[in-house]
Amino acid sequence: MGCADRSAYDLSQHTLATKVRLVAEKKLAEPKTVDFVEAVPNKAAVGKSFKKEAKEIMETLSKLEPAEIEAVESALKSKGEYQLAINGTQYRLTPEMLEVKRGQKTVHVEEYVPNVIEPSFGIGRIMYSIFEHNFRVRSDDGQRTVSPLFSSYQFLDAIQTFFFIFGFVCSVLFTTSVDCSVEMLGTSAEQQCRVCSSHPQVR
């Protein structure tokens, strides 16, 4: 068991793939003035050149990050055009279709990409930890090991299939001299008796 520090990697990758900004907001104690840069399309020119694709092009431009917008500005100045890629298709944009605007604005919140701490707490890891914790090798005989002599299984949902699954597991363990019990919380005495009669070693 443990925790995996995923940082902001997962959400950042989702943002790159979907072009949807996955950010959280933190209210500032005091408003502050910040610089901004944005790509502003000429809707008439874009619509005339790209027809039905125009809407998707303008939506993509509105979601560009500052670093991407600077690349657009640089390409428009140096090459006279910018190739916008959308789902593998290239769209040629010219200075008549697009301009880059800079300015300042007052913000009241700070945006950030949340970091993710992912607990590794699956049932497989829990069982492995239990077995690892209890496993021993005899100091005088490396071929002989010591493993748990008792195990217990507990579940809350009274699903009939579970009774026989856990009963079977305990039957297998019992043949290897590992005693076990099944705690069937929330089940009736009649249901527990059926399991015990099918698997006498389960208690």
Tens-place pLDDT, residues 33-56 = 988 888 999 999 999 898 889 999
Instruction: Find tokens 């657009």 and name the residue.
Output: 72
Sequence-separated (6 or more) residues with CB below 8 Å from residue 135:
145, 146, 147
In the structure, how many helices (H) and strands (E) does the chain have? 7, 10
Taking residues 173-182, report their average pLDDT: 73
pTM of this prediction exceeds 0.85: no
Q: Compute the mean pLDDT over every residue in the chain, rounded to the nearest whole number.
A: 78
Q: Which helix (H) or strand (E) holds 67?
A: helix 66-78
% pLDDT > 90, the chain:
15
Those residues with Cβ within 8 angstroms of residue 71's Cβ, 6 or more apart along the chain or in another chain:
none
pLDDT surpasses 70 at 168:
yes
Write the CATH number of the domain with boundaries 9-112. 3.30.720.200
- Sequence spans of domains, the chain: 9-112, 122-198
